[in-house]
Each structure stands twice: as C-alpha cells, then as structure tokens.
Amino acid sequence: MKKIAVLTSGGDSQGMNSAIRAVVRTGLRHGFEMYGIKRGFKGLMADDFIELGSREVSDILYRGGTFLQSARSEAFKTEEGQLKGVANLKKREIDYVVVIGGDGSYRGAQALTRHGIQTYGLPGTIDNDIPLTDYTIGFDTTLNVVTDAIGNLRDTMSSHERVSVIEAMGRNCGDIALQAGISSGVDAILIPEVNNDIDKIADEIKAGFDRGKSHSIVVVAEGAGNAEDVANAIKERTGLDTRPTVLGHIQRGGTPSAFDRVFTSRMGHRVIELIEEGTYNVALGMQENRITYHTFDEIFSAENSIDDRLYKVFEDLV
Ligand code: ATP
C-alpha cells in the first residue's frame, strides 16, 4: 500500500488543521496509508511519525494552530539533515510528503524531491506572501481577527479623540494591512510595497481632526515600520494624542474562517488527485477561485506583489 506523510512547518496558521484533515481523509478514501510527522522537518529528522486514521483527524477542522505542531529547523537546510529525513521516509517506505508551510518550507519540500521523494506544498502562512496563489492558508482568518481588533480600538479611540496606530503582521507583504485597511475604512496604511509619505499622512490626519473627526486609525505592516515609531512621528507632526498597538500573535489565532476551511479542504483533496495523476514537485494555491498548482521553481522565480487594483480601491475610498 502506498504511503503519504503530512507535516506543518514554519509559522503556524489557522486552517493548517483543516488542510491536514482533507489530505488524510481523501488519502484514506483512495486507499493510501497516511502518516503525520510532528514538528515539521525537525520531527522528520528525529523520526517522529504517527499513523493517521480518520478518527485522528476528527474535531480539528475548526481548531486554529496545527495538531501536528510546527517548528523551524536550521539543521534541515544542510545536506546531512536532509539525508537523515529522507532515510526515515525510505525506512518506512513513504513515497509522498505533503508540506504545509511558507516559502522557506517549500525550499525544504523541494530538497526532499531532489532526494527522490515526491512532494507537494500547501501555502500555510498568514501573510499572503506566496506568489501564484490569491490566498494563503490563514490569511482570511487573520484578516477577520485584525478587522475585529481595529473595530474594538476604534470605539475607545473615538471616545478619547485619539489617533490609533496599529501594527499588523506582514514582513514582506502588506496584504493584511491593505485588506484590513479596506475592510475597516482606516485613514492610512503603511506597507512595504509602496513609498509611504509620513508627512502627507500626518497632514491628512490633522486636516481630518480640524474638520471635526473624533478619531483616526492608521495600520502599519511590520515590514514598513513599527507602531511606536509611526505613532511618535504622527504625534510630533500633529500634536495629537497618538497611541501605538502591536497586535502580535493574536493574529495567528482563532478558529479558521469558513473561507479558510473550504479553501484548505479543496487543496487537500486536490493533492490526492495529483498523486493519483502522477503529478508531483508542485505547490497548490487558488487563482480566480480555481485550485491551481505550479512547480516549486515557478513559485520561487515568480514575484509576489500586492494587487495594485486593491491599493487603488483603498486610495479612492479614504
Ligand atoms: P513563515 O512564512 O511562517 O515564515 P516559512 O515556511 O517561510 O514560514 P521558514 O522558517 O523560512 O518558514 O522555513 C521553515 C523551515 O523550512 C526551516 O526552519 C527549515 O527547516 C526549512 N527550510 C527553509 N529553507 C530551506 C532550504 N533552503 N533548504 C531546506 N530546508 C529549508
């Protein structure tokens, strides 16, 4: 009987559990023997495998995080580490590995392919920073968490006539800040993909208060600065009471949204179809509401960028 193993790697994201469940349940239905590897590539090297039946993935669809746990492993970046992992897979006669993680994890997946293991990537990262997919796993849930947090802050900022500067995750990709900015109707966003003009932002905030606004909200993606520096810069320029808030790890938590559950279920299901078709060394994603796949090399050579049309939507609605 052919065997498939699943692992989660890098930062966790809401919907990883749902992806694991979909791969496992579909795999079992197609007659594969299914395994989970604990703590990503670290567990692969340590031979930390568990066999997964249908019951083992019960009750995880709606839970954030990953029940297989995740980790980062510098040792797996070395040839020696990879050979250790491959030996553990070969010993168990596992032919296929599904890696759920970000672009770093995709590099690990590709390394396995170089050693004769057929691998599949699912985009498990909240930042939406993987090319050739419109969404990554957990992005939609995070967007909802950030939107709720901004709503809560708006209430108190309005009572005290303050400016709130909220730092959202996104080191290289400003999508969380951009889309939360649109969904929350904030006054300004700072994202790494564009030149952010703090003088202009401060002038517009001041003008808004002069016109009678009771509060102002600015969202900054972590890759474009930190909340404290931006708050200080606005305070210096406007004299307004300005408060920084770093949302931090709450953004990774929470029950996955319906979108993330359906999206991951579709991708997990598709992985098994690809295995049956003999396609491997690919990463899956969703483009224009269709589940698509590309080779790891295509993903690595493509550029990730925000949707310019969305940025224009934000600018025109401020
Ligand atoms: P996130 O987007 O949450 O940061 P990520 O998957 O990009 O997720 P990384 O820390 O970059 O997170 O990578 C996760 C793990 O993937 C690393 O700890 C390492 O084990 C493995 N990995 C990363 N790069 C390579 C590489 N070049 N070769 C082999 N393995 C790698």
- ipTM at complex level: 0.97
3-state secondary structure of 244: strand
Distance CA 247, CA 55 (A): 35
Residue nearest to atom 19 of ligand 1 (CA): 73
Atom of ligand 1 nearest to the CA of 13: 3
Distance CA 139, CA 276 (A): 29
- Domain spans of the chain, in order of start: 3-138+256-301, 140-253
Pocket (CB within 6 angstroms of ligand 1)? 9-11, 41, 72-73, 76-77, 101-105, 107-108, 111, 125
Distance CA 176, CA 53 (A): 35
In the numeric block, which tokens belong to residue 25?
Answer: 């349940």
3-state secondary structure of 201: helix
User: So what's the pLDDT on residue 61?
Assistant: 97
Q: Give residue 237's Cα distance to chain centre.
A: 35
CATH annotation of 3-138+256-301: 3.40.50.450
Q: Which residues are annotated as a binding site for ATP?
A: 11, 72-73, 102-105
Distance CA 39, CA 108 (A): 14
CA atoms within 13 A on the CB side of 166: 30
User: So what's the pLDDT on residue 158?
Assistant: 79
Ligand 1 pocket mutation, candidates 39, 70, 72, 128, criterion most atoms within 8 A of CB: 72
Based on C-alpha coordinates, what's the Rg of the chain?
22
Query: How many angstroms does the Cα of residue 231 sit away from the middle of ligand 1?
Result: 33
Query: How many angstroms does the Cα of residue 119 sit away from the middle of ligand 1?
Result: 15
In the numeric block, which tokens belong to residue 261?
Answer: 């559950």
User: So what's the pLDDT on residue 103?
Assistant: 95
Over residues 145-165, the pLDDT tens digits come to: 999 999 999 888 878 889 999
Low-confidence ranges of the chain (pLDDT < 50): none
Record: fold of 140-253 = Rossmann fold (3.40.50)
| Residues acting as catalytic residues | 127
User: So what's the pLDDT on residue 205?
Assistant: 96
Atom of ligand 1 nearest to the CA of 106: 6
> Are the beta carbons of 248 and 170 closer than 8 angstroms?
no
Among the listed residues 137, 79, 136, the one whose alpha carbon sits nearest the alpha carbon of residue 111: 79
Distant-in-sequence, close-in-space partners of 33: CB < 8 Å, separation ≥ 6: 1, 2, 3, 4, 51
Q: Which residue has the tokens 């300005």?
A: 242
User: So what's the pLDDT on residue 1?
Assistant: 86
Q: What pTM, to 2 d.p., does this model score?
A: 0.96
Ligand 1 pocket mutation, candidates 68, 82, 103, 105, criterion most atoms within 8 A of CB: 105
Query: How many angstroms does the Cα of residue 178 sit away from the middle of ligand 1?
Result: 25
